[in-house]
């Protein structure tokens, strides 16, 4: 679910809750208002009846009290009215008329406790409020109950029960609730339309911001947000655009330098001044390129010296090769000479054998000659 739909849904839920809460408060308020008015009217009528009965007692016309009570009972808002006698009054004056006897539990509680009893009677088509107010004997400046009643002060003399119809209050409350409901529906749709238009501007900013951040994650920092808002959201959008512009410029500078490094160009540097960590990154990149450039320069110089040494060694090897070729030629000549000498020596050796044979033969001939000479000498001597 998109942010716009979530916001509309939540605003709708809030408005509906407020609507039901308003209706509930309105109903509860009218209910309390009706009960309060009925109770106040009951107390006023009770005081009026008390004063009227007192006047009847003072004038000696107590037997005519039912005319007075009937007149009050005929009031439009009063549904029913009766009085009951307490035990002390019954002992003094008797049970009274048949409609002055105790009718229900509320009368009994009021006579026994001396406290006001209340009851709300709700039906499908009507709402009635019953209140039973006890009359308690007391001495007052204007009314002194002990003048006629032979009781102690604080004794419950009787009670009056009044049933008031408050259906009109409920009807009025229902009509008011319907009017509030209709008005709330109109306000709901108007508020929804206004919120849709008003908040839509902010939701659009969030949606554009989401798309811009998605592009930034992919490395595209060219996204910008346009808005006519002048509040905090507008300021935020302006700062975001400045931030994206700064990022775009910074990364563009870094990309240019990195592309130069990829193409073996170490002459590029990030010249643009940056802020915060980007400035630190810029300085580190420039220092790294400077160090790399110096290292490559020293490496190239080292290779140049090595190359010069290799060229020198190559020349020396060439000279040695030439000398070795010359020496090989001399060696070949010496080898041929040795072979020739060897053949001569072999020939000499063969001649030497021949000479040795000749020498041997000569020696044999000499020895033969010497023997012959000796024989000749002997022959001569003889």
CB 165 within 8 A of CB 128: yes
Residue 96: per-residue pLDDT: 75
Residue 21 C-alpha from the chain's centroid = 30
And the tokens for 279?
């400035």
360: pLDDT strictly greater than 70 = no
Arithmetic mean of pLDDT, 322-329: 73
d(CA 311, CA 157) in angstroms, rounded, equals: 142
Residue 123: per-residue pLDDT: 76
pLDDT in tens, 236-255: 888 888 878 777 777 777 77
Of 101-115, 167-181, 194-208, 353-367, which range is least confident?
353-367
Residue 208: per-residue pLDDT: 80
pLDDT in tens, 256-310: 777 777 777 766 777 777 777 777 777 787 788 788 778 877 888 888 888 888 8
Task: Sketch the domain layout of the chain as residue ranges.
Answer: 3-190
Sign of the Cα pseudo-torsion (252, 258, 262, 266, in order) = positive
Which residue would you say has higher pLDDT here, 284 or 77? 284
DSSP H helices, 218-231, are none
327: pLDDT strictly greater than 80 = no
Q: Which residue has the tokens 């942010």?
A: 3
d(CA 224, CA 39) in angstroms, rounded, equals: 69
137: pLDDT strictly greater than 80 = yes
Residue 93: per-residue pLDDT: 81
pLDDT tier, 125 (very low <50, low <70, confident <90, very high otherwise):
confident
151: pLDDT strictly greater than 70 = yes
pLDDT in tens, 86-124: 888 888 888 777 777 888 888 889 888 888 888 888 777
Residue 164: per-residue pLDDT: 83
Residue 355: per-residue pLDDT: 56
d(CA 19, CA 182) in angstroms, rounded, equals: 10
What integer best gives the mean pLDDT of the chain? 77
Residue 366: per-residue pLDDT: 57
Determine how β-strand 117-122 pairs with β-strand 156-165.
unpaired
The pTM of this model reads 0.46
């Amino acid at each position: 679910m998109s942010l716009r739909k979530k916001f509309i849904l939540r605003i709708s839920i809030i408005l509906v809750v407020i609507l039901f809460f308003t209706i509930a408060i309105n109903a509860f308020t009218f209910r309390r208002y009706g009960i309060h008015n009925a109770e106040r009217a009951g107390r006023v009528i009770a005081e009026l009846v008390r004063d009227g009965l007192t006047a009847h007692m003072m004038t000696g016309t107590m037997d005519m009290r039912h005319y007075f009570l009937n007149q009050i009972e005929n009031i439009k808002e009063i549904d029913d009215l009766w009085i009951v006698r307490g035990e002390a009054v019954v002992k003094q004056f008797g049970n009274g008329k048949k409609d002055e006897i105790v009718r229900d539990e509320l009368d009994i509680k009021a006579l026994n406790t001396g406290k006001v009893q209340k009851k709300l009677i709700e039906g499908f088509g009507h709402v009635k409020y019953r209140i039973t107010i006890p009359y308690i004997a007391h001495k007052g400046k204007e009314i002194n109950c002990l003048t006629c009643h032979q009781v102690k002060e604080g004794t419950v003399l009787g009670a009056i029960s009044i049933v008031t119809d408050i259906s009109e209050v409920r009807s009025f409350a229902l009509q008011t609730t319907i009017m509030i409901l209709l008005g709330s529906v109109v306000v709901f749709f108007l508020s929804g339309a206004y919120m849709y238009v008003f908040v839509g501007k902010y939701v659009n900013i969030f949606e554009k911001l989401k798309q811009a951040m998605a592009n930034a994650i992919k490395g595209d920092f060219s996204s910008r947000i346009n808005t006519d808002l002048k509040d905090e959201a507008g300021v935020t959008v302006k700062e975001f655009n400045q931030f994206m512009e700064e990022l775009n410029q910074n990364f563009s500078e870094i990309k240019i330098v990195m592309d130069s490094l990829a193409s073996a160009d170490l002459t590029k540097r990030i010249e643009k001044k940056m802020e915060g960590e980007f400035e630190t990154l810029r300085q580190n990149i420039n220092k790294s390129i400077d160090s790399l450039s110096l290292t490559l320069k020293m490496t190239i110089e080292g290779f140049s010296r090595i190359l010069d040494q290799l060229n020198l060694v190559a020349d020396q090897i060439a000279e040695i090769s030439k000398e070795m070729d010359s020496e090989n030629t001399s060696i070949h000549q010496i080898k041929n000479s040795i072979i020739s000498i060897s053949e001569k020596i072999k020939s000499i050796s063969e001649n030497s054998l021949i000479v040795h044979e000749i020498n041997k033969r000569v020696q044999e001939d000499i020895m033969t000659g010497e023997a012959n000479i000796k024989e000749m000498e002997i022959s001569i001597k003889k």
